[in-house]
Amino acid sequence: MMHSAADIPLWAAVVVAFFLLVGASLTLIGAIGFLRLPTFYERIHAPTLGTSWGIGGIMLASMIFFSIASSRPVLHEILIGIFVTVTTPVTFMLLARAALHRDRAERNGNVPEKQGSSEEAEPDSVPSA
């Protein structure tokens, strides 16, 4: 049987509110970083951290609330956290690599060269004098 939100004990409501505020604040910081940072490579970093840690706080709040409201442990939301934790860094790397490839192909900005692509002399070769 599910209880209403008004039936939740005060200590649980405070804990849920704390985790909701922390999660929402971290997500907001990530969104502000996305808007304020100047370059794509800097801009992509803030939302990934906000997403990972923000979803963690909101997920904990939801687990605590629904565990107390339904009088049984609610753990299936851990799957959401696992999926977000796994997919966010992978998405970050794919976006960053695609942008890096594009910028190198178009020769935009201060993008580092590929390793091993510079034409350096062999370490064993001695220049003739």
- Per-residue model confidence as pLDDT tens for the chain (129 residues): 666 767 789 999 999 999 999 999 998 988 898 889 888 888 887 777 777 788 889 999 999 998 998 888 888 888 888 888 888 888 888 988 898 888 888 887 777 667 765 544 445 445 554
C-alpha separations of 93 from 37, 63, 84 in Å: 18, 30, 14
Q: Residue ranges per domain, the chain? A: 5-106
Tell which phi-psi region holds residue 99, choosing left (phi > 0), alpha (psi between -120 and 50) or beta: alpha
Distance CA(101)–CA(113), nearest Å, equals 10
Distance CA(67)–CA(63), nearest Å, equals 6
Q: Is the pTM of this model over 0.85?
A: no
DSSP H or E stretch at residue 11: helix 10-36
Give SS3 for 129: coil
**8-27 pLDDT, tens digit each:** 899 999 999 999 999 999 98
pLDDT recorded at residue 1:
63
